[in-house]
Structure 1
Amino acid sequence: MSTDSATAAHYAQALENTAADPSRCTVPWGVCPEHGATLKSTGGRAWCMAPVCFNVWTYDRLDAACTEPATHTIQADNGDRYVVCDGHALTARTQITDGQVLPGLPS
């Protein structure tokens, strides 16, 4: 699977997850809820690499679906919307180019 089709598959899954439970983050991988995409994992555990963070998880949070509450909406240029947590919103602001990160959930 190419990177582009893998990314498209992840966003398609996020759209399905938004419809299934609009109160939960829909991204199928974890982040630090405070610092975003700063996780490392090995041996079935994960930790945040931010120097001021002491968050540690006893499971591989990086490769698990995010279970944080949804707080933001990602609005893609094509009209698709999906909901994300604070950590994924923080990461999305620095990584997406074709869309917006909006505070709050879709009405």
Structure 2
Amino acid sequence: MTTTNTATTGELYAQALQDTADRPGQCVVPWGVCPEHGATLKASGNRTSCMDVACFNSWEYDRLDAPCPEPATHTVQVDGASGGYAVCDGHALTARAHITNGQVVPGLPA
């Protein structure tokens, strides 16, 4: 029998909060983005590159399937929850475009 990981949004948020506490100053999102353009990556084999036409960023590994290596610069706060979790510039850019019931603010969680 095969099982799948179907974590709820609440569980994912709780894990991000714990990761923020465990790794201060580090982006806690478990996949990579372009640090300048956000969720614009494409992977081919062991190479990842940004799809933004003005960007020449590329990496010699599958950045999409690796934890984000970038330093945290912003906090994602979900309405009704205390604290927030730490993200890098690229994940902050992406979160601003996709988050509902929350906000992205400069600086690290208190």
Unaligned ranges ≥5, structure 1: none
Runs of 4+ in 1 over 6 A off after TM superposition: none
- C-alpha distance in structure 1 between counterparts of 2:8 and 2:42, whole Å: 21
Of the structure 1 ranges 5-14 and 50-59, higher mean CA displacement relative to structure 2 is found in 5-14
Q: Which has the higher helix share?
A: 1
Q: TM-score, normalised by structure 1?
A: 0.89
Give 5+ residue unaligned stretches, structure 2. Answer: none
Q: What is the CA-CA distance between 1:6 and the residue it aligns to?
A: 5.7
What is the percent sequence identity of the aligned residues?
A: 64
Q: CA RMSD in A?
A: 1.7
Aligned equivalents of 1:55, 1:7: Cα separation in 2:
31
In structure 1, the residue matched to 2:109 is 106
User: When the two structures are superposed, what TM-score results if normalisation uses the length of structure 2?
Assistant: 0.87
Match of 1:40, SS state, is: strand
Cα distance between partner residues in 2 of 1:96 and 1:45: 28
- Within 5 Å, which residues of 2 pair with 1:62-101? 62-80=64-82, 81-101=84-104
Larger radius of gyration: 2
Matched residue count: 106
